């Protein structure tokens, strides 16, 4: 696993599949995400922007999904949650569809996790669930690097209880990958506790 998935890497992977205006949309999404997450760091000590880029790369490299709408949504998935950027601003820049997907992917404190995931699964566009599962998969892949033991336990529990069943209903590849990385996370927590 590499941390350094850059926008340039993503753009190169997309070039054969997208028209110039679609690539431009993805570039704008990346630039907005980079600006929105500026100065933010991940638990594993990397700049926050590497996470949404990795989520987008997972869509492209592992699932062969080249939709500019979904790739842009993957890049923007934490923007509303983590910055002053609004759904309205995203709609003005990227259209209502991307804004709706990013809105659905935004977890508010007053919404329970089951209600949040049910809304994602109920969305008529199955791509929303795919992006959410790619997000969870990326978080699981790097969970061992988090210094927070409580976070690790919570991630393992919520993945087992909610995300794994969702993956089973959504995409076999993501189900298999999440299962594998969930086991890695369990093993890591066990090893650390012994």
Which residues are catalytic, by number?
81-82
Other beta carbons within 10 angstroms of residue 154's beta carbon come to: 11
CA pair distance 116, 55, nearest whole angstrom: 19
CB-neighbour burial class of residue 173 (10 A; exposed 0-12, middle 13-18, buried 19+): middle
Q: Which of 93, 97, 92, 181 is nearest to 136 (CA)?
A: 181
Sign of the alpha-carbon dihedral angle for 96, 101, 106, 107: positive
Packed helices 20-36 and 7-14: angle between N→C axes, nearest 10 degrees: 160
Residue 39 neighbours by CB distance under 10 Å: 6
2: its two tokens? 């590499």
The first and second tokens of residue 39, run together, are: 């100065």
Provide the 10 A C-beta neighbour count for residue 59. Answer: 23
């Amino acid at each position: 696993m590499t941390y350094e998935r850059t926008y340039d890497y993503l753009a190169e992977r997309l070039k054969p599949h997208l028209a110039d205006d679609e690539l431009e949309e993805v570039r704008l999404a990346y630039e907005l995400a980079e600006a929105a997450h500026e100065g933010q760091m991940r638990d594993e000590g990397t700049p926050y922007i590497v996470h949404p880029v990795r989520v987008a790369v997972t869509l492209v490299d592992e699932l062969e999904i080249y939709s500019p709408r979904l790739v842009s949504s993957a890049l923007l998935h934490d923007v509303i949650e983590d910055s002053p950027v609004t759904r309205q601003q995203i709609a003005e820049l990227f259209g209502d569809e991307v804004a709706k997907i990013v809105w659905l992917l935004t977890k508010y404190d007053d919404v329970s996790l089951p209600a949040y995931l049910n809304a994602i699964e109920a969305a008529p566009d199955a791509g929303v669930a795919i992006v959410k599962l790619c997000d969870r998969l990326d978080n699981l892949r790097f969970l061992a690097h988090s210094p927070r033991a409580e976070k690790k336990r919570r991630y393992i529990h919520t993945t087992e209880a909610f995300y794994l069943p969702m993956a089973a209903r959504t995409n076999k590849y993501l189900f298999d990958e999440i299962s594998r990385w969930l086991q890695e996370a369990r093993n890591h927590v066990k090893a650390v506790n012994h």
